[in-house]
Amino acid sequence: MKSEESRQHSQNDLTLVIGATGKTGSRVASRLTALGRKIRKGSRSTTPAFDWNREASWDACLEGVTSVYISYAGDLAIDGSTDTIRAFVNKAKSHGVRHLVLLSGRGEDEAQACERIVQESGMDWTIVRASWFNQNFSEGAFITMVQSGKITLPAGNVAEPFVDVDDIAEVAVSALTEPGHAGEVYEVTGPRLLTFADIAAELSRATGQRIDYQEVSHDAFLKSVEISGAPKEVVWIMDYLFSTVLDGRNAHVTDGIERALGRPPKDFAHYARAVAATSAWRKSA
């Protein structure tokens, strides 16, 4: 499994966490820090700043770095992502980076093309392939729907094994700090399939309030996203996810989390109860 198998991760290794303000990146960064690992956060708001659209910003961020957690802004399915990932991988290699951990998209052909670039880099690599996050309902696009008591999406009855972001982060951190993960593709899911109607029922149980799922047409949903003032990239990714990825291709659970961590993944109900105990889903006055 290349050099990663023959060396112990050192406390002096420096890890660049790209997307350090995002759902997974922030958790990866905090876990690495708690373990006493040296990290450099990479985002447009950090110093040095990291911007996927400004290749000139990458060198300062990669200086002295031995491993990188790659969370691509937007989605790896976005047009041009393969060119950007290829350029970044080449730059990382030139700086002496030894290990790349890529957050990839489950069931996305474009994301798998980016995976191949990482796999063929000549560096150690680990792929963490995920799809729908539990936290989309508390930290993402669907939180206001939960607060309003009505989840209106063009999802039909397609089931997904929603995965917890904390599990994703733990897998990534294990790959970055422990031997044995180089050359592994961890396709990560939750422990069971849930439709969006099932999600609404779980949220109702957790909050003690009625939350319904109401199917809307794809066009009507996109129109509402546009009217909300969402950036065009968000509109695009919502279109892509609901028109392409949510077609049943991912309607099966996998053992990625168990293989990586030696334990089962967290269930959506556990997540929902934990969030319900906070003020995240409290309706605005």
> pLDDT at position 6, please?
37
pLDDT at residue 239 in the model: 94
Which amino acid belongs to residue 132? W
pLDDT digits (tens, 9 = 90+) for 200-213: 999 999 999 999 99
Mean pLDDT to the nearest integer, 145-167: 97
Tell me the pLDDT tens digit for each residue of 121-143.
999 999 999 989 999 999 988 99
All structural domains of the chain with their residue ranges? 3-131+165-189+252-266
Tokens of 159: 């089931």
Q: Which pLDDT score, from 0 to 100, does residue 137 have? A: 97
Strand partners, 124: 99
d(CA 73, CA 176): 20
The rounded distance, in Å, linking the Cα atoms of 22 and 132 is 15
Q: Between vectors from CA 274 to CA 270 and to CA 279, what angle results, nearest 5°?
A: 150
Determine the Cα–Cα distance for residues 4 and 181; give it in Å rounded to an integer.
8
Distances from the Cα of 216 to the Cα of 65, 97, 143, angstroms: 47, 46, 17
Contact by Cβ (8 Å): 51, 44:
yes
130, two tokens: 């995920």
Start-end of H helices in the chain:
23-34, 58-62, 81-94, 109-119, 143-148, 165-177, 196-207, 218-227, 232-240, 256-261, 268-276
Token code pair at residue 196: 């969006």
Contact between 67 and 28 (Cβ < 8 Å): no
Q: Are the beta carbons of 229 and 238 closer than 8 angstroms?
A: no
In the chain, % of residues over pLDDT 90: 88
pTM of the model: 0.94
Q: 245 in helix, strand or coil?
A: helix
Tell whether the model's pLDDT for residue 10 goes beyond 80: no
Contact 171, 262 (CB under 8 A): no
Range 3-131+165-189+252-266 has CATH code 3.40.50.720:
yes
